[in-house]
Amino acid sequence: TDRKKLHTAPVGQVFRLRPLHVLIATGGGYAGYRKYEDYKVEQLEKRGIEVPVKLASEWEVALYKSVPTRLLSRAWGRLNQVELPTWLRKPVYSLYIWTFGVNMKEAAVEDLHHYRNLSEFFRRKLKPQARPVCCLHSVISPSDGKILNFGQVKNCEVEQVKGVTYSLESFLGPRIYTEELHFSQAPPGNSFQQQLVTKEGNELYHCVIYLAPGDYHCFHSPTDWRVSHRRHFPGSLMSVNPGVARWIKELFCHNERVVLTGDWKHGFFSLTAVGATNVGSIRIYFDRDLHTNSPRYSKGSYNDFSFISNNNKEGIPMRKGEHLGEFNLGSTIVLIFEAPKDFKFHLKAGQKIHFGEALGSL
């Protein structure tokens, strides 16, 4: 009789599960499980053991997409803009440097107290001599990163990693029928790949570069070319690390991306910046109308913008090594271009590369 009474309410009132909570909890837990699986794969690869390709099923992809990565990425982007107290900057940035192996000796400003927020730290500039641009080869790496795949495009399919492909047309979108782009006037019955090749005897090549969070986040022009058109695909913001790229077919076609197309001395040339989780924005320096990771978008939609006008017949000329754009964190650059059959890559799959180093030449 001396005990206090415990007042209880019906379970339905105390513990209510909403669909959104279930999706976030389930999707987040599954994403964590996939991270652990990716870690195990990386360890096996370091030991020289080849890991068989195991693609995600439709329900696994749908479950991953249920995680609100776009919302989380916008929140991360806003957090990056918050100015840190001076006393907190060095501990926060030092933890990031230690976690991702950042080489601050290459930074134009090595003093960590100089960077007011995480965004400024991510977009730090390098010393001019840190990335010499190779003058002997026609195509250089546009960024720091890891080479996931490269080679000739075959059967309208491009490899994102070894053994996992995506559709060339789904990635770039429908062909742009514009006279100024100098695309091939091939008959409509030809494949999408053949329509992109403008000169007889040429082939279509590709190269995929993954930027890790610790890499230099700016990207540059990989060659001398002119940008005629921009196509922006709003989409998911799933992780693009090699483990996920090995797991989800057409990952790059699911994710938000900005496709820049134009031409160089050998014909068609394109550079695509692919978004990823926590990449709050993709910025192209000469394109002020581009706004990525907007709160609302139509699934499967894209928007086009032409840099060719009555006042500008040449588009945007870019010199090899010139600043082109930046990511908020880390992501992927995909090059797809036309070149003669004797074009050779100077790469190995999985190798680390720095901006300015040679990708290939004739």
d(CA 131, CA 162): 29
Q: Do the domain assignments include residue 49?
A: no
- pLDDT by residue (tens digit) across 340-362? 999 999 998 889 999 999 998 88
Structure tokens at 284: 């192209």
Annotation says 331 is catalytic: yes
Q: Is the pLDDT of residue 167 over 50?
A: yes
How confident is the model over 277-307, as pLDDT tens digits?
Answer: 876 588 999 998 898 888 777 777 899 999 9
Catalytic option among 38, 144, 215, 287: 144
Q: How many domains does the chain have?
A: 1
The C-alpha atoms of residue 122 and residue 110 are separated, in whole angstroms, by 13
Domain that holds residue 281: 139-175+192-361
Task: Tokens 């320096």: give the residue.
Answer: 285
Whether 79 is in a domain gets the answer no
* Band of pLDDT at residue 146, cut at 50, 70 and 90: very high
Q: What's the average model confidence in pLDDT over 41-51?
A: 63
157: in domain: yes
Query: Is 244 inside any structural domain?
Result: yes
Taking CA atoms, 209 is separated from 92, 150, 168, 193, 245, in Å, by 28, 9, 17, 21, 12
Mean pLDDT of 64-69: 81
The pLDDT of residue 315 is above 70: yes
CA–CA distance, 76 with 70 (Å, rounded to integer): 10
Task: Evaluate if residue 26 carries a pLDDT over 60.
Answer: no
What is the pLDDT, as a whole number, of residue 44?
62
* Nearest-angstrom CA–CA distance, 9 and 14: 7
Q: What is the pLDDT of residue 205?
A: 95
**Average pLDDT of span 318-330:** 89
The DSSP H or E segment spanning 215 is none
Per-residue pLDDT band at 46 (split at 50, 70, 90): low
- What per-residue confidence (pLDDT) applies to 23? 45
Residue 346 in domain = yes
Q: Which DSSP string corresponds to 264-291? A: ETTEEEEEEEEP-TT---EEETT-TT--
The answer to whether residue 10 is domain-embedded is no
Whether 187 has a pLDDT exceeding 60, the answer reads no
Residue 2 has pLDDT above 70, yes or no: no
Q: Is 144 a catalytic residue?
A: yes
Residue 116: inside a domain: no
- In 183-281, the DSSP E strands lie at 202-210, 218-220, 225-233, 257-264, 267-274
Largest CA distance in the chain: 97
Q: Is 94 a catalytic residue?
A: no
| Average pLDDT along the chain | 82
Query: Pick the residue with more confidence: 190 or 196?
Result: 196
Reported as a single tens digit per residue, the pLDDT across 3-20 is: 555 555 554 544 454 554
Residue 24 maps to a domain: no
- Choose the catalytic residue: 217, 220, 232, 266: 220
| 258-281 per-position pLDDT tens digit | 999 999 999 999 999 998 887 658
pLDDT for 184 equals: 47
To 5 degrees, how large is the angle CA 159–CA 297–CA 307? 70
C-alpha 173: how far from its chain's center? 17
Predicted confidence at residue 27, as pLDDT, reads 47
